[in-house]
């Protein structure tokens, strides 16, 4: 993949994020508006993006790659908690923050940021792979993620997990999309077109919300907190550089290698702020990490691709 393509696409996404930032500052976005748009994305347009990746795929379907990537996703999300534990011990994160740091290490923004990046870099027919990642992501985030965040222990919330927790539109539609992918069922254009229209709104809406969210964070606090720089530099630059040779050794398929790597270097998931607030961890640190990792991803993603790929 050409580095110029990656740079151009990241600039496009950055412009959209910047637009969201400005719209927040002029009081068009923010507050309840952001919450409602977020719900629209999570419950409608993002699931439609996954479904559209299958419905719009009229060419030959690579069943082997999907199965292989599903296995790699599971293995990856099983390995990341171990690596996260080692990470917090090596940098000596104090108790009361270890759960947050582990959560931010494990869970990248493979949804809000991942879907648009994947669509831009690999094409909309490859979004089904991002759907696979998000199934595994959500299963782990709603269980192990909640558990480690609750260990920070200042909140009054208790861990409550049930089967219904996992029946989100994102997981459900991703699972249905995988079934449709393997069965090869074809739908008429009258069905495909509305799905495509809804799916195509995901990228601009998601980027605008990310920008609006970043606008609510104090710039001074972000840029003067050394802990944020250290975490982002280690997790989103040093760690990928160290782990890539192992990934290249184990993953022989070039597309799956590139796709897996791009998922690994997505910035901190927005949900880290929500969980930190709910379970009494340091939500300010979570917000700063989301901001800085998202901002620097405009540089780190192309740079890592240039160095590694």
Q: Contact at 8 Å (CB) between 125 and 118?
A: no
Per-residue pLDDT band for 160 (boundaries 50, 70, 90) equals: low
The more confident residue out of 101 and 219 is: 101
The more confident residue out of 112 and 75 is: 75
Per-residue pLDDT band for 156 (boundaries 50, 70, 90) equals: very low
In this prediction the pTM is 0.82
Q: Contact at 8 Å (CB) between 173 and 205?
A: no
Q: Which tokens belong to 108?
A: 């990248």
Residue 56 CB contacts under 8 Å (≥ 6 apart), including other chains? 124, 125, 192, 196
- Helical spans, DSSP H, in 114-253: 114-122, 127-140, 146-150, 169-183, 189-199, 202-215, 219-223, 226-233, 239-250
% of the chain surpassing 90 pLDDT: 35
Average pLDDT over residues 62-75: 91
Q: Contact at 8 Å (CB) between 289 and 217?
A: no
Q: In the prediction, which pLDDT does 164 show?
A: 64
Average pLDDT, the chain: 86
3-300 folds as Na+/H+ antiporter like fold (1.20.1530)
For the chain, which residues make up each domain, given as ranges? 3-300
Q: In the prediction, which pLDDT does 235 show?
A: 95
108 in helix, strand or coil? strand
Given a cut of 70, whether residue 113 has pLDDT beyond it is yes
Given a cut of 70, whether residue 161 has pLDDT beyond it is no
Q: Which tokens belong to 187?
A: 């739908």
Q: Contact at 8 Å (CB) between 214 and 291?
A: yes
% of the chain surpassing 70 pLDDT: 94
**Residues 184-238 pLDDT 10s:** 888 899 999 999 999 889 889 988 988 888 888 887 878 888 899 999 999 999 9
């Amino acid at each position: 993949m050409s580095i110029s393509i990656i740079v151009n696409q990241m600039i496009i996404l950055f412009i959209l994020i910047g637009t969201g930032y400005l719209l927040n500052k002029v009081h068009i976005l923010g507050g309840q508006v952001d919450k409602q748009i977020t719900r629209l994305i999570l419950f409608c347009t993002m699931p439609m993006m996954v479904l559209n990746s299958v419905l719009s795929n009229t060419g030959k379907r690579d069943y082997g790659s999907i199965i292989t990537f599903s296995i790699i996703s599971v293995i990856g999300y099983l390995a990341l908690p171990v690596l996260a534990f080692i990470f917090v011990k090596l940098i000596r994160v104090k108790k009361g923050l270890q759960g947050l740091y582990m959560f931010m290490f494990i869970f990248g923004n493979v949804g809000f940021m991942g879907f648009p990046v994947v669509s831009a870099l690999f094409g909309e027919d490859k979004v089904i792979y991002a759907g696979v990642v998000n199934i595994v992501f959500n299963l782990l985030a709603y269980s192990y993620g909640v558990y480690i965040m609750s260990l920070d222990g200042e909140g009054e919330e208790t861990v409550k997990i049930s089967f219904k927790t996992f029946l989100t539109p994102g997981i459900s539609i991703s699972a249905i999309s995988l079934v449709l992918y393997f069965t090869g069922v074809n739908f008429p254009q009258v069905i495909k077109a509305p799905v495509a229209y809804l799916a195509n709104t995901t990228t601009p809406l998601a980027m605008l919300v990310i920008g609006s969210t970043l606008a609510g964070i104090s710039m001074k606090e972000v840029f003067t907190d050394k802990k944020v720089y250290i975490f982002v530099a280690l997790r989103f630059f040093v760690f990928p550089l160290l782990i890539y040779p192992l990934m290249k050794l184990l993953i022989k398929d070039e597309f799956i290698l590139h796709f897996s790597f791009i998922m690994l270097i997505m910035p901190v998931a927005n949900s880290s702020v929500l969980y930190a607030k709910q379970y009494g961890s340091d939500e300010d640190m979570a917000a700063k990490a989301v901001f800085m990792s998202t901002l620097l991803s405009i540089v780190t993603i192309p740079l890592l691709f240039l160095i590694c790929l």
